[in-house]
Amino acid sequence: MSEKEARERRRWETETYKRACAQSQERKKRFMTTSSVDVGALYTPDEKFDYLSKLGFPGEFPYTRGVHPTMYRGRLWTMRQFSGFGTAEETNRRYKYLLEHGETGLSVAFDYPTLYGHDSDDPRAVGEFGKCGVAISSLRDMGILFGGISMKGVSTSMTINGPAAIVWGFYLAAAEKQGAKLSQLRGTIQNDILKEYIAQKSYIFPPHPSMRLIVDTFEFGSRSVPQWNTISISGYHIREAGSTAVQELAFTVGDGLAYVDAAMERGLRIDDFAPRLSFFFNAHNDLFEEIAKYRAARRIWAKEMKSRGAKSPRSLLLRFHTQTAGCSLTAQQPENNIVRTTIQALAAVLGGTQSLHTNSMDEALALPSEKAVKIALRTQQIIAHESGAANTIDPLGGSYYVEWMTDYMEEQAYKYFDRVAALGGVIPAIEKGFFQQEIANAAYQYQKEIESGERQVIGVNAHCEKDKPDIPLLKMDPRGEARQFARLKKIRRERDKAKWTKALADLEKAAEGEKNVMPLILDAVKADATLGEVCDVFRKVYGEYREPSLY
């Protein structure tokens, strides 16, 4: 901002703006973002703003404006609906339905027993079968899940963490059975255990052996499945647990750097694995705050990777998937959620996402019905083809407000990096409950703002209606569980006992030693070892994690 502009700005503030406020007060004493950040009335050019160092150009350092030189003018984002329920058969039908309606990638939601590495018939799984995802206990289940879908032709993302290496093993083995080569497969395993301890809580083993399994997948992937993203470093669940946008950004990028450091300590070369790291962020209601978050994330990552010695430009790219905010959906007046999701999806697109999931309107009530998920997918198609948002790159770059917010986010994230470093790093900070407490505090503050009316949520504390929601909800096949139990019994009865015993014994030896476990996991799943059996080997060697129960 030139001196003249600054002078004029001060004049506007003291004369025009103040006078207008004196004549009639602003609507609120305090304007704030979804994350409770104070927002000013007007943002104007910053004289210190250096275009080339802060923004640069798309596809070039520091990638603030986007990771690809052409962005959506070249190729649209992948439309990928997170989906899974009941048995592999039911979910397979849903995948085919979504692909028929124009979805361009698959994303598997597993049920809780699968997420915790238990077989469907384990006593700890009671009541959870197929409830919030599909039940996958064996190679055979994975084969059914992708029956009639070409695994070398589609890219698949799998939200799996504690038992990621094993479920990935099921996928790789099922694809080979279809005749695919590992080098042809494209997709992502979430495999981000740090955020499990921090927020999502579907951990199995303690942090250090979990990190070892993850680095094993990095190593195996870079050698044998080169097109696979072996981790999706996730802020989504951190945000859902109640964090602010800044916390989501700082904790996620901080986790990413912790994985990089762990892999480098093992002796892996940064440019060998870094290009396969990917990210996953939330998109909440505040359009500008969200856009700024994605832009700041790209800039921080590029700088940090460069400072760790990355030479390949691909190592510097923060590529990410986005899901709209489940926690923003209301059970009241569920149709309003279509509108919320549209705003959130637009934020993700304006922020340069590589793939996107849009939530369905009924998800505060149940898993999505076919109709609800179709509307969610259509929302993305309308943004892509009708809104104009995909015509030019980083359309909000240069907005005084968005640039201010991007800088603010970056600055705040570095403050968190310093606090975590002072606690000894990410794992010690987890063990002290630092992240968990920060998130719980933010969640409580947000809820109190709703209670006090300072924050309005339409249908919840403003414009409420008495009528209960009346939309049809998804019903699952009640006989699915029994079918799954029978299938597991059959597998255990029919498999080659000698081969199975040897595969699990070899795996146990590898888990105790230093050898990469991935090839042995593949042998075990091909010998029809079930998910629970393979995880029990690791449970025996590594033990199980228990978290400090703070609130």
Partner 1 sequence: MERKIRVLIAKPGLDGHDRGAKVVARALRDAGFEVIYTGLHQTPEQIVSTAVQEDVDAIGLSCLSGAHMTLFPRVVELLRERGADDIIVSGGGIVPEEDVPKLKTAGIAAVFGPGTPLKDIVEFHKKALRKR
The answer to whether residues 94 and 107 touch, using CB atoms and an 8 Å cutoff, is: no
- H/E stretch holding 229 reads strand 228-229
Q: How far is the CB of 419 from partner 1 (least distance, A)?
A: 21
443 binds partner 1 (CB under 8 A): yes
Q: Which of 332, 359, 406, 530 binds partner 1 (CB under 8 A)?
A: 332
Shortest distance in whole angstroms from residue 227 CB to partner 1: 30
- Judged by CB under 8 A, the stretch of 8-16, 144-152, 195-203, 498-506 that binds partner 1 is 195-203
Could you identify the residue written with the tokens 């279809």? 178
| Residue 327 lies near partner 1 (rule: CB under 8 A) | yes
Alpha helices (H) along 513-546: 518-526, 531-542
Least Å distance between CB 80 and partner 1?
A: 22
* 456 part of the interface to partner 1, by CB under 8 A: no
User: Is 366 near partner 1 (CB under 8 A)?
Assistant: yes
Compute the residue count for the chain: 551
Residues 6+ positions from 428 with CB-CB distance below 8 Å: none
Distance of closest approach, residue 168 Cβ to partner 1, in angstroms: 21
Specify the residue, 240 or 289, whose C-beta has the smaller distance to partner 1: 240
Distance, in Å, from the CA atom of 384 to the CA atom of 378, rounded to the nearest integer, reads: 10
DSSP for residue 399: -
User: Tokens for 28?
Assistant: 């609120």
Radius of gyration, alpha carbons of the chain: 24
Helix, strand, coil percentages (3-state) for the chain, rounded to 5, are 55, 10, 40
Site string for partner 1, 5-44 (x = CB under 8 A): ----------------------------------------
Q: What minimum distance in Å lies between the beta carbon of 330 and partner 1?
A: 6
Among 95-103, 408-416, 459-467, 527-535, which window interacts with partner 1 (CB under 8 A)?
459-467
- Selected binder of partner 1 within 7, 10, 124, 490 (CB under 8 A): 124
CB of 212 to partner 1, least distance (A): 22
Q: Which is nearer to partner 1, 115 or 173 (CB)?
A: 115
For partner 1, which residue of 20, 46, 444, 501 counts as binding (CB under 8 A)? 444
DSSP code, position 353? -
User: Omega before 275 cis (within 30°)?
Assistant: no
- Angstrom distances, CA of residue 331 to CA of 284, 358, 373, 467, 532: 17, 17, 16, 12, 35
- Interface pick for partner 1 out of 177, 201, 378, 419 (rule CB under 8 A): 201
Binding of partner 1 by 478 (CB under 8 A) = no
> φ and ψ at 416, to 5 degrees?
-65, -40
Which token pair is 438? 């920060």
Residue with Cβ nearer partner 1 (128 or 304): 128
Give the separation between CA 361 and CA 367, rounded to whole angstroms: 10
Site of interaction with partner 1 (CB under 8 A):
112-113, 115-116, 118, 124-128, 131-132, 196, 200-202, 240-242, 327, 329-332, 364-367, 440, 443-444, 447, 451, 457, 459-461, 468-469, 473, 546-547, 549-551
